[in-house]
A and B are shown apart, each in its own frame.
Chain A
Amino acid sequence: MTATAPTAGSSGTDVRLTAISKRYGSFTAVHPLDLAIPAGSFFALLGASGCGKTTTLRMIAGLEDPTTGSVELAGKDVTALPPHKRPVNTVFQSYALFPHLDIYENVAFGLRRRGIKSVKKQVGDMLDLVQLGDFARRKPHQLSGGQQQRVAVARALINHPQVLLLDEPLGALDLKLRRQMQLELKRIQTEVGITFVHVTHDQEEAMTMADTVAVMNGGRVEQLGAPADLYETPRTTFVANFLGTSNLITADVLGTSGDDILLRACDTKLTLPATRCTTTARTGEKLLIGIRPEKITLTHADDAGTIPDGRNRITGRIADSSFIGVSTQYVIDSPVGPGLSVYEQNIERDSRLAPGAEVVLHWNPGHSFGLDAAQSVEAGTDAGEGT
């Protein structure tokens, strides 16, 4: 699969992977993949556990020899270079802090290896940045998991590498600190202009931080693009389910009318703008039509007449509803499929929308997307919340 990230408007490509793959014995951890990461961009590799994110990162860092393909950094082929000669630094998933050195020396390690003598100010600033100024003389085992993780970030970041590789650097932090560190990392990245390759299985993190997100699945890049594009126009069921939640409805293609594709799912007629369909729709064959839960409006069956024309509509019955503050999440059983989800903003709540009520689900056809029906509808659902 070839995927090229949109250029972030700066000095070209920083990391270029060409047909890179990794096999362990007969198991292929990463299938041949091409990737071009623009200089100065914040690039996220997103995927479920075991999909090959770390392996890809390690091949960029030089810690793993690719089975095939090459790695280029700033136009220079580094495939044969050992890690210590590559202008990249890694924040390891397991931190890998040096247990015999204190925090200060851990952070100073990279600077010292490059022969920089006066490290005091830089290390001090760095420790302040990750809010560990008071812990400089502690050993790693005297810190909490989250503190160790911040040391790992500081230890890599202090070197101002050309490319910073982050392997789930915020996994052990609590939500508040995590958000704080996300903003901090993002700020540093914009300020210093380092290319960040950020591995995560937290889709929210990937979407809030990255300019470009590559969604990986089973050793392949499924889709690559800006977070909003991925969310609004997923190309595979995996992406549709892994990034947020999607309702995927199997429908028969009836034909086309103007720019629209006409579909039928269980006697319900639906339309889909042809531009929103990433696969070719052939009359008589099946197609998956997807719609995000928050794009659907719920109307009680008694008020069905008030629904404007031109919207896709299906009927159903509320099976369950849960109030979660900003919104109410409904699970709706419908002839076209059981367990459809709908999120309604809590603005004016209709008290009739309770479990058992007959409702009409309707949405703007332009908000739906079409997918190839040959894929599993379930792909990415279980894996979605990071195993």
Chain B
Amino acid sequence: MTTTATTSADTGTEAPAVTAAARRKKLVPYWLLLPGILWLVVFFAAPLVYQASTSVQTGSLEEGFKVTWHFATYADALTEYYPQFLRSVAYSATATVLCLALGYPLAYLIAFKAGRWRNLLMVLVIAPFFTSFLIRTLAWKTILSDGGPVVSALGSLHILDVTNALGVTEGHRVLATPLAVVCGLTYNFLPFMILPLYTSLERIDPRLHEAAGDLYATPLTTFRKVTFPLSMPGVVAGTLLTFIPATGDYINAELLGSTDQKMIGNVIQSQFLRVLDYPTAAALSFILMAAILAMVTLYIRKSGTEDLV
């Protein structure tokens, strides 16, 4: 009894000062977060709320738009533009798979085999970023132009016959076909695939490869059982960084495709800037966002990345 009394008396005198200091210390991280939070509020949360309210407005440009909680815009937008939605997902998924197929070997090579060329190769990977997205896509327009050397080469090698049969090109053209748009997407987003892949591969201790070899694993088995599982965080990050922006992209479809290759990004862009139907454009944006969010969540669940590292 006596001891309890003394202790509480002791803490009674000292506690307030101590806890106040401790509390201030605990708050420091939150103060440091403040600029970031402000940034998010001003440039993410506020526009989001504004768009949300736009999506449930009705009216016209002349009379002005009013919030009427008109949710039917969503249903109408979806029924009218679902082909573009599906096309976006299909193009973007194809481009993501192609990026992975092209990017993985390259990242692997740079991480494990490049030796002193490593840094130079990494600079080359990000070199395209030194020019603008638009210019690079325009360059592809020239590269794939009708009758240009690339198209004639593909034609004389009978590759165009194959792609025609697959339905991704038509006649003697590459431009204004699905192939061109997917190629453009693949090219433009490849660095976003390679960078996270490289980062996760580079972190793998090469001694693990030795250990696997020592334990009777052939190089192929070593890759299947050790390297690839350990690079999963990079694969997941890379596919997300490619898939998400590629789904919403409109420049590739705009410059390399025709009206038959319009993606959802093109629709949103024209609704906002040309048709000036703001509610539909906002609703489409929200549908796109929700769809991507749902797909990404499902994907992360499936790939079980939380288990890795």
Contacts and interface: CB of A to CB of B under 8 A. Distances in A.
B230 A100 contact: yes
B205 A84 contact: no
B217 interface: yes
11 contacts: A84-B214, A89-B215, A96-B208, A98-B226, A100-B229, A100-B308, A109-B212, A113-B221, A114-B216, A156-B214, A159-B216
Given A82-B213, A83-B210, A114-B216, 8 more contacts: A61-B214, A84-B215, A84-B217, A84-B218, A98-B226, A99-B230, A99-B309, A110-B216
Nearest to B228: A100
Interface residues of A, number: 23
B207 interface: yes
Contacts of B215: 84, 89, 109-110, 113, 155-156, 159
A83 B205 contact: no
B216 A63 contact: no
Contacts of B291: none
A90 B207 CA distance: 12
B211 interface: yes
Nearest to B208: A96
B230 A63 contact: no
A88 B229 CA distance: 26
A96 B308 contact: no
Q: What 4 A-B pairs have minimum CB-CB distances, sorted nearest first?
A: A96-B211, A110-B215, A83-B213, A113-B216
B207 A96 contact: yes
Interface in B91-141: none
Contacts of A88: 214
A92 interface: yes
A63 B208 contact: no
A94 interface: yes
Interface string A45-84: 0000000000000000111000000000000000000111
Interface string B274-309: 000000000000000000000000000000000011
A94 B230 contact: no
A83 B214 CA distance: 5
Interface of A: 61-63, 82-84, 88-90, 92, 94, 96-100, 109-110, 113-114, 155-156, 159
Main secondary structure of the interface of B (DSSP, over half): helix
Contacts of B208: 96, 98-99
A246 to B, nearest CB: 37
B246 to A, nearest CB: 29
B216 A96 contact: no
B207 A94 contact: yes
Given A94-B207, A96-B205, A63 B309 contact: no
B207 A92 contact: yes
A26 to B, nearest CB: 17
B217 A113 contact: yes
B232 to A, nearest CB: 8
Contacts of A94: 205, 207
Interface in B219-264: 221, 225-226, 229-230
A118 B294 CA distance: 41
Interface string B181-220: 0000000000000000000000001011011111111100
B220 to A, nearest CB: 10
Given A94-B207, A100-B308, A89 B230 contact: no
A156 B214 CA distance: 9
Nearest to A165: B214
Contacts of A98: 208, 211-212, 226
B213 A63 contact: yes
A98 B216 CA distance: 14
Contacts of B229: 100
A110 B226 CA distance: 13
Nearest to B216: A113
Contacts of A96: 205, 207-208, 210-211
A258 B23 CA distance: 88
A156 B215 CA distance: 8
Pick from A89, A98, A114, A159 the residue with the most CB of B within 10 Å: A98
B236 to A, nearest CB: 14
Nearest to B309: A99
Pick from B208, B215, B216, B309 the residue with the most CB of A within 10 Å: B215
A14 to B, nearest CB: 17
